Structure 1
Amino acid sequence: MSDSGESDGKACLQCGRTLPVADFHRNVRRPDGLAFYCRHCAAQRSETSRRKRGIEERKQSSAPVPDGSKWCAACGQIKPVAEFARTKAERIGLHPYCLPCHTAQGAASKTRIFGSTREYHPRHRHGIGQAEADELLAEQGGVCAVCGVADPQHVDHDHRTGWVRGILCFNCNGGLGQFRDDPVLLANAITYLKGTTWRRALIHPGVYRISSPARGRPPSRSS
């Protein structure tokens, strides 16, 4: 941008006024580095576009909002800023809705777009709908693919590829995650259990003794 542009200002294509460059938004794609329209006209054009797209006019509080508080655009109440979730998407760093309204708005959006929150989670996280998850569970016989407990609720996926592998219960799904889906670690865990768990040893026909490879070791300091 030239020095003359800084001193002479710029003419707005909407209102035709020549205004200081500070009254224009920046636009790095323009030769002069400034937007076509002044800030006031740009805001008007944005609101007109929102109305054409069916977006309601932005609501504002009718009462003054004291410092340390924020007005919720959903319930219309003025609440402490601590009752608003933080976000980098907003200029002031806070969501426009308070926490209860934010939760309600999110659930309503998921229901409107996906039909229900239960449909949203598998579709959003794993790319499958609830019907597909139910079909996969039916192929497993309605039980966890690992331990066989009834009515598992968690969709398991490969963290490298994102592919869905099956439906697991909470414990099995978390267990695979703790072992980082590594077959070597799981095999080592199996070997470890086989060498340390108590087992029955046949010492006479029909007579067993419960023994463990750890038997005979000195007790730990905590025992």
Structure 2
Amino acid sequence: MSVSGGSDEKECPQCGRFLRTTEFHKNQRRSDGLAYYCKQCAAERSEQSRRNRGIRPARKPPGPVPDGSKWCPDCGSVKTLAEFARAKARADGYHTYCLVCHSARGRETRDRLYGGSREYHLRRRYGIDGAVVAELLAEQGGVCAICGANDPQHVDHGHRTGWVRGILCFNCNGGLGQFRDDPVLLANAITYLKGTTWRRALIHPGVYRISSPARGRLPSRSS
């Protein structure tokens, strides 16, 4: 440490000034426990580095921000804290950008990196891309793998293994989820329906017999 007038001072090699040690950031990796440059010079060097890398200077609010509010650097508006998402990692407990701008930035990033929200969702949740979905759908003949409905949009996967099983319509995909992917529950549901549904049996060409369910009760006259 270069000293002038006392051991609580240090020389900054950038500006050549002897400053109190409180004017230097802490750096435990250095022998004196202090940063190489003073706080002001370190900030200037950091800003110059950002400009050299094409990063625009950080924007600052044009005036004081009232208590309970925050300034969004994207839209340039002062908004209430309720219009910012929570962020524990930040000193003030809120994200830098308001909810509207934060969402817009997320959409822009997904479009730029993945080509859209659906492609991002497919890769992040299922580990596949749109090409794999198109291939699976083609193998199914372009219809839901269960009911045969046209243009299914939902990727079905095993919740235990994560393995993608096929492409289903909204109703079939939701139905499997409601039955917790349990074949026993689905078999019980089939048995239940067979025992409680009126059935039409063909007796002769054009002649049908309606058979009553094995269990259940007729609705009352008042229902």
TM-score with structure 1 length normalisation? Answer: 0.75
Which of 19, 22, 29 does residue 21 from structure 2 map onto?
Answer: 19
SS of residue matched to 1:96 = strand
Query: What's the counterpart of residue 194 of structure 1?
Result: 194
1:128-166 C-alpha deviation (Å, 9 max, x unpaired):
222221222122111111211111111222222222221
1: CA distance, partners of 2:32 / 2:143? 62
Q: What corresponds to 2:183 in structure 1?
A: 183
The 1:52–1:166 alpha-carbon spacing in structure 2 relative to 1, beyond 3 Å, is farther
Q: Is 1:85–1:99's contact at 8 Å kept on the other side of the alignment? A: yes
Q: Tell me the residue number matched to 1:77.
A: 77
Taking the TM superposition and a 5 Å limit, the aligned residue runs for 1:117-128 are: 117-128=117-128
Aligned equivalents of 2:211, 2:9: Cα separation in 1: 91
Partner residue, 2:163: 163
- For the residue of structure 2 that corresponds to 1:95, the secondary structure is strand
Between the two proteins, what is the percent identity of the paired residues?
Answer: 58
Q: Measure the CA separation in 2 of the matches of 1:118 and 1:216.
A: 47
TM-score, normalization by structure 2: 0.75
Letter in 2 for 1:212: P
Instruction: Give distance in 1, aligned partners of 2:27 and 2:217.
Output: 78
Q: Evaluate the alpha carbon distance shift between residue 123 and residue 24 of structure 1 in structure 2; reply closer, same or farther with a 3 A threshold.
A: same
Q: Letter of the aligned partner of 1:175 in structure 2?
A: G
One-letter amino acid of the structure 2 residue matched with residue 124 of structure 1: R
Give the 3 Å change call, closer, same or farther, for CA 89–59 of structure 1 in structure 2.
same
Mapping of residues 1-223 of structure 1, within 5 Å: 17-20=19-22, 24-25=25-26, 30=29, 36=35, 43-200=43-200, 206-216=207-217
Shift of 1:47: 3.7
Give, in angstroms, the shift of residue 26 of structure 1: 7.4
For residue 61 of structure 2, what is the amino acid of its counterpart? S
Closer, same or farther in 2 for the Cα pair 1:50/1:184, shift >3 Å?
farther
Match of 1:4? none
> What is the CA deviation profile of residues 174-201 of structure 1, one whole-angstrom value per residue up to 9, with x for unaligned ones?
2222222222222222222222222236
CA distance in 2, matches of 1:145, 1:12: 74
Q: Is the 8 A contact 1:12 1:19 kept in 2?
A: no
| Cα offset, 1:50, TM superposition | 3.4
Structure 1 gaps, min length 5? 1-7
Report the CA distance shift for 1:127/1:216 in structure 2 as closer, same or farther (over 3 A).
closer
Deviations 1:2-50 (A, max 9, x none): xxxxxx7685876674524x964576xx599966456656555544443
Partner residue in 2 for 1:3? none
Higher CA-based Rg: 2
Q: Which amino acid aligns with 1:64?
A: P
Mind listing any 5+ residue stretches in structure 2 that lack a counterpart? 1-6
Given that 2:196 and 2:216 are in contact with CA atoms closer than 8 Å, whether structure 1 keeps it comes out as: no
After superposing the two structures, state which structure 1 stretch, 178-187 or 10-19, moved more: 10-19
1: CA distance between counterparts of 2:60 and 2:216?
Answer: 74
Question: Which amino acid is the alignment partner of residue 163 of structure 2?
Answer: W
